[in-house]
Chain A
Amino acid sequence: NAGVTQTPKFQVLKTGQSMTLQCAQDMNHNSMYWYRQDPGMGLRLIYYSASEGTTDKGEVPNGYNVSRLNKREFSLRLESAAPSQTSVYFCASSEVVVSYNEQFFGPGTRLTVL
């Protein structure tokens, strides 16, 4: 039981390049999330998917797209990377039931855009 996994762990891009961050969970959770963490800004939600087939914008969605490929996988795509997207990206998942909604996080992807 690996929990939430993310690939890659590290990535360096040049401005204008594109890439996709991958996330998978093996806990049969319905909801998945993408956050970014920046010094002085804390953790901010980029996009989330409440259930398979749905996605919604979070606090900072500009410059990103997401795909909920199936129940297990939720990917984040940067179409044209900018230096402002240098950050640590975390994927999380949670089981949506009436009384319990603990979120579990992956190890993160450290992205640098030059």
Chain B
Amino acid sequence: KQEVTQIPAALSVPEGENLVLNCSFTDSAIYNLQWFRQDPGKGLTSLLLIQSSQREQTSGRLNASLDKSSGRSTLYIAASQPGDSATYLCAAPKAAGNKLTFGGGTRVLVKP
């Protein structure tokens, strides 16, 4: 059974600092890994998806890496802004069209 863990559960940084968010998974036979952002009381917004054959994926200030052998993915957010304050979740399926297993999320606060 796949288990996905995100540590820490909460993180507070001053504006401008780079954010590093961790995601660990127990079963390396993942099809891909997806990072989401969730604002309070809102739905999930997909940020990045890394295919199992990729090592990293970039979008603007966001960069996500994937190391299947160690069971880890890291989301980097450069030059954080107060608008980056949200909960970030990672999730992975074991096959195309299969169910996602979610981590518990990391709640981020970027202080002005």
Q: Please list the residues of chain A having a beta carbon within 8 angstroms of any beta carbon in chain B.
A: 30-31, 33, 42-45, 48, 50-51, 58-59, 90, 92, 94, 96-108
Contacts and interface: CB of A to CB of B under 8 A. Distances in A.
Given A50-B97, A98-B96, A90 B43 contact: yes
Q: Which of B45, B93, B99 has the most CB of A within 10 A?
A: B99
Contacts of A100: 32, 49, 51
Interface of B: 31-32, 34, 36, 42-46, 49, 51, 89, 91, 93, 96-100, 102-105
B91 to A, nearest CB: 8
Contacts of B36: 105
B97 A43 contact: no
A67 B109 CA distance: 39
Contact of B97 (A58, A99, A101, A105): A101
Contacts of B98: 101
B46 A42 contact: no
A102 B46 contact: yes
B46 A103 contact: yes
A94 B91 CA distance: 14
B43 A101 contact: no
Contacts of A105: 36, 43-46
Contacts of A50: 97
Question: Which 5 residue pairs spanning A and B have beta carbons closest together?
Answer: A96-B97, A105-B44, A43-B102, A107-B43, A45-B99
Given A90-B44, A104-B46, A108-B43, 7 more contacts: A30-B97, A33-B100, A42-B104, A101-B49, A101-B98, A102-B34, A105-B43
5 contacts: A43-B91, A90-B43, A102-B34, A103-B34, A105-B46
B57 to A, nearest CB: 11
Given A100-B49, A102-B34, A103-B34, A33 B43 contact: no
B27 to A, nearest CB: 15
Contacts of A107: 42-43
A41 B31 CA distance: 23
